[in-house]
A and B are shown apart, each in its own frame.
Chain A
Amino acid sequence: MEREPDGVSLRMYVASDTAPSGHARRQLAALCERLGGERWEVEVVDVFERPALAEADRIVATPVLIRLFPAPRLSVIGDFSDLDAVAAALDLKEAVDR
């Protein structure tokens, strides 16, 4: 799990066929664009395709966006209607600006 010290690693769990997950995917793209996509590593996981991974990450609600790196691990649950709130919750500004 070697990573660039200034990178940001995110994982988003979605459920393929649900409206909130569809909305969240689009919002995630917008979020990456807004914050500048260069140093982002984003993995989108469908819980129904990879339930074992969802189990390992103890996912309950979807969609959920997890900041895997840098520590500490933070997560936001929801369809991310308010992008600023998501960025704040994951402390992304600080992570990006570092």
Chain B
Amino acid sequence: MTGTRGLARIEVGILGFDALVHGGLPEGRSTLLAGSTGTGKTVFGLQFLASGARLGESGVLVTFAERPDDLIANAESFGWDLAGLVRDRRLAILDATPDASATVSGRFDLSGLSARIGHALDEVNGKRLFIDPIDALFEEFSAAVEVRHAFAAMLRALRPLGATTVIAAERPSEDDHITRYGAEEFVVDNVVLLRNARASERRRRTVEVLKLRGADHHKGEFPFVIDPRCGIEIVPFSPIEGGADGSAERISLGNAELDAMFGGGMYRDSLMMITGATGTGKTLIGLQFMLAGIAAGERVLYLSFEESQWQLERNAAAWGMDLKTPERAELLTVISRYPARLGLEDLLVEIKHTVEEFEPTRLVLDSMTAVEHNSPPKGFREFSVGLSGYLKGRGVATMMTTTLPNLLGGDHATYLYLSTIADAILALRYFDLDSEVRRALLVLKVRGSQHASRMHEYEIREDGMSLLGPIQGISGILSGQAQHTAHSSKGSAGAGGRRE
């Protein structure tokens, strides 16, 4: 693969990372992978080697700290069979852990290691080299200047062999020097930083390409997760471009009256937001939308972030809806989570994996307010944009709910932010008038479509939601200050044609 400026690239094989560096790391060059303890440097490097093997490129692993057996076991937990690769002569593992019986007297260089690496690359026809981590070398030989010099000389000596090299190095802390021992001074090609910061009591892993000599790359920090099944995955937080073209197909919301208000249902590849206070029927609308999909033979993913699966099934049963049958028929997958316990990155990746495995054409997320709870604002924005962009790109019809904190009227931050990414918004409101609390809904927005612009009163009955018709003679419902408008008597107020 050829990237900008004609540099051949080596696909790292880490989902999302290759896109950050426009196709991969420049072939034959060295990359310094810097991060403090526990940021995932070793996983990155092992994945680089395992992916290489999968792509038919052999590799060499040099370990300065962990024993080869420990690394093999570590990799095995991600499904990477290093021992098998070693047997097949597609990988060589060089043990360069410190020799406790050695003392140092006078000048030295790293020709021994250089010769071993060269020999190993030759033996396995290696294209990739991972050195993990070089700090142990500095700790073994206290003469840091000499070690730097020797290491730089070794890299120069290995360069003609053409292996694309990743070198892990410790950072003493975040936002300090790049590495503890100044490795950035001699690994001059590329620098990649891994971070594991805490924000709002949640861990947030990010990767940043600081430098990619002679080549373009995306700038800034990109969140990633370490998935116990498949390793590092960069979270697709930026909207995915080039997804499905705007679809003109309409799908039913599962309620003919609601469909009519939206001009004939919602667009297939759109995101609808349902906003309202607790008890206004958001979950009910979500369940109706879900059932309409199942009735049409579609697969539906239901993400329940406020209720347990048992609670959801019980509530659905109260409306005469059966979730078990479509679940058994593999038309419905319900995932119940309390997202406050999960990092948003983990949550997004989990949703993405589920979508890819189950391939739903409809998705209900109830509610985004639960996702926002305890999340840093930036993280929540990234999650919202990333998830909606991802789902739109796949053409999944999505319904999300947000819960308003006040029973009457009012907006809140979640709503204000999400309203910009939603294609359609349905607002559900209580209003109280003459000592009676009633419910009204309004279609606030539909991108690219005509829609009803009047408030309609509705009821929630045993069999679901029922629209009672447009509201006349009442104002101030959205702001929570409903009152009879002038020129209208109490008798004609309320819903026209209200059915009792």
Instruction: Report the minimum CB–CB distance from A18 to chain B (whole Å).
Output: 5
Instruction: Report the minimum CB–CB distance from B121 to chain A (whole Å).
Output: 10
Determine if B107 and A86 form an interchain contact, defined as CB atoms under 8 angstroms apart. no
Residue total for B at the interface (Cβ-Cβ under 8 A) = 26
Determine if B120 and A55 form an interchain contact, defined as CB atoms under 8 angstroms apart. yes
Residue of B99, B108, B116, B150 touching A54 (CB-CB under 8 A) = B116
Which residues from A are CB-within-8-Å of B104? 61, 76-78
Q: A59-B113, A76-B102 are in contact. Are A20 and B95 (CB under 8 A)?
A: no
Residue of A58, A74, A78 touching B107 (CB-CB under 8 A) = A78
Residue of B94, B101, B103, B120 touching A73 (CB-CB under 8 A) = B101
Determine if B105 and A55 form an interchain contact, defined as CB atoms under 8 angstroms apart. no
Looking at chain B's contact residues, the main secondary structure is mixed
Listed in ascending order, the chain B residues whose CB lies under 8 Å from chain A are 94-96, 99, 101-116, 118-120, 137, 141, 150
- Cβ < 8 Å to B, chain A residues 3-62: 13, 15, 18-21, 23-24, 47-48, 51-52, 54-55, 58-62
Contacts A47-B116, A61-B141, A62-B110 supplied; 9 other A-B pairs, CB < 8 Å:
A15-B115, A48-B115, A51-B116, A59-B116, A60-B110, A64-B112, A78-B104, A78-B106, A79-B106
Residue among A61, A80, A85 with the most chain B CB within 10 A?
A61
Q: Bound complex: CA of A58 vs CA of B104, how far in Å?
A: 16
The contact sample of 8 A-B pairs, CB cut-off 8 A, is A15-B112, A18-B111, A54-B112, A59-B115, A62-B109, A62-B112, A80-B105, A82-B105
Q: A20-B106, A62-B108, A78-B107 are in contact. Are A54 and B115 (CB under 8 A)?
A: yes
Instruction: Report the minimum CB–CB distance from A10 to chain B (whole Å).
Output: 14
Determine if A77 and B105 form an interchain contact, defined as CB atoms under 8 angstroms apart. yes
Q: A59-B112, A59-B116 are in contact. Are A75 and B105 (CB under 8 A)?
A: no
Q: Bound complex: CA of A76 vs CA of B150, how far in Å?
A: 17
Q: Which 9 A-B pairs have the closest CB atoms?
A: A15-B111, A51-B119, A59-B112, A78-B106, A47-B115, A79-B106, A78-B105, A81-B106, A89-B103
Instruction: Report the minimum CB–CB distance from B93 to chain A (whole Å).
Output: 11
Which residues from A are CB-within-8-Å of B102? 64, 74-77
Which residues from B are CB-within-8-Å of A85? 103, 105
Which residues from A are CB-within-8-Å of B107? 19-20, 23, 78-79, 81
Instruction: Report the minimum CB–CB distance from B369 to chain A (whole Å).
Output: 56
Determine if A75 and B101 form an interchain contact, defined as CB atoms under 8 angstroms apart. yes
